[in-house]
Structure 1
Amino acid sequence: MSELRQDWSEAARFALYYAPPCESAWWQAGCAWLGRDPETGASLAPPQPAGLAQPLDALTVAPRRYGWHGTLVPPFRLAAGVTPEALYAAAQQWAQRQARFEAPVEAATLGRFVALRPADEAGETALRELAANALRALGSLRAQQTPAELAKRLDAPLTPRQRAYVEEWGYPYVFEEFRFHMTLSDSLNDAQTCAQLVDTWNTQMRGAGALPVQGAALFVEPQPGAPFALWRRLPFAEARA
């Protein structure tokens, strides 16, 4: 558990992410792939898939900054009067009400990205419900968007429902619009490179089993543009009956 603190700016953002257990192959492989462990701050040497024209670390710049994770509640600033400790207490209470489960996953293309995605509808549904539950539980701790932030979010090709979610929740892809994913690449224009990354990840993780959803984690961006760090892990209750 990272103890970093106090050098955070007033503009620090927090996020509730899914992070695999630190001792699991899923955590170790994902951190190595992105070249950074957001819990320890260590830089790691990414693998180099055979036949890949570019170094892997040149294809993972954006996800490296965010750290290996799956978003449950996207990054937000704290509302006036809400301390990081109050956020942690609320998130901990939420986590203690959640049951552990497993979700089969596989690497796939998602738009122009490569990402780890649920491999069946049951896993997709369970993760979507988990994210919706978390958003409702922590939503009141989020600062309201500034007019500039709102305008930036709305300056995108969104459906009417997604625009309404931006105005209410600060993000368009929540509730039924949510698609759980753990990003493995930058936005890429080369379909062949995407296919190589998908094949490399799935081959590497064959036999790793289902993704163990045993908890969530609070990540923090200490200052705008800084790498996100895993601040607190939040274990769930025991497995579902």
Structure 2
Amino acid sequence: MSAPHDFGPAARFALYYAPPRESAWWRAGSAWLGRDAESGETLLQPAIDEIDTIDTIGDAGGSLHALTRSPRRYGWHATLVPPFRLAADVTPEALFAAAQAWAQDRAAFEANVEAAMLGRFVALRPADPASETALRDLAAAALRALGSLRAVQTAAEIAKRLEAPLTPRQRAYVAEWGYPYVFDEFRFHMTLSDSLDYPALGAHLVNAWNAKMRAAGALPVCGAAIFVEPEPGAPFVLWQRVPFAKAAA
């Protein structure tokens, strides 16, 4: 992807979980969204049987492409450290080095996951409490390791975050960490759809994904990845993978 010096001051960086490139999980998720965030390739999305028979999908148009506009821009991922601008004295190379140092102390593990509804979205979610806890702990460790590299939020950025209905704890997290859904508020998810108005359509997509991935086994969590939004509104690209140094326990 782009070299570090190509990123301007408005670029935002994020530490995401992304499945290994050679895994069925990466191939399937990228194809589902229609874009490989690492290669930049546009992919042919799978046909979802019977999607055209659902007659209450409004503007979705019966196409998986139309149902995945937002997650396609972000790429196939789960957020560990949400997008942020770098502090004035921090370079992309310094961020990469810090992420590598953090990954030196991390061990690979597997997580049991399944597609489910998360509010009005379809997303890949932990399938058991142990997986939920392991993934939440991973995100918390990443945020603590990299949080000091973030630029101070502008008043406009804070105000935009606070427009959402948030609890007092979530508002405090916005003030300290720039994002409300961290630590105990964190929910691991890999988004598979836009917001859906029709429960029947969401259930159909959940069933289609779970049937497709039934034989894939557990999700391999053996590294993270730095994604970059080069300029506001641009598609996120996977810039650097950050493998965990320790083997699975």
TM bucket normalised to smaller? over 0.9
Counterparts of 2:242 and 2:183, CA distance in 1:
22
Q: Where do 1:1-241 residues align within 5 Å?
A: 2-53=1-52, 54-241=62-249
Runs of 5+ in structure 2 lacking a partner?
53-61
Aligned-residue offset at 1:48: 1.5
Give CA deviations for 1:6-39 in whole Å, capped at 9, x if unaligned.
3322100000000000000000000000000000
The residue type equivalent to 2:182 in the other structure is V
**Aligned-pair identity (%):** 72
The residue aligned with 2:56 is none
SS at match of 1:172: coil
SS at match of 1:33: helix
Counterparts of 2:3 and 2:50, CA distance in 1:
39
Counterparts of 2:150 and 2:143, CA distance in 1:
10
Counterparts of 2:201 and 2:136, CA distance in 1:
29
Contact 2:4–2:92 at 8 Å: present in 1 too? no
- How many residues are matched? 240
Runs of 5+ in structure 1 lacking a partner?
none
Calculate the aligned-residue CA RMSD, in Å: 0.9
Contact 2:104–2:246 at 8 Å: present in 1 too? no
Counterparts of 2:30 and 2:3, CA distance in 1:
19
Counterparts of 2:141 and 2:208, CA distance in 1:
33
Contact 2:15–2:83 at 8 Å: present in 1 too? yes
Give CA deviations for 1:170-221 in whole Å, capped at 9, x if unaligned.
0000000000000000011110110010000000001100000010000000
Aligned-residue offset at 1:3: 4.8
The residue type equivalent to 1:187 in the other structure is S
Contact 2:4–2:93 at 8 Å: present in 1 too? no
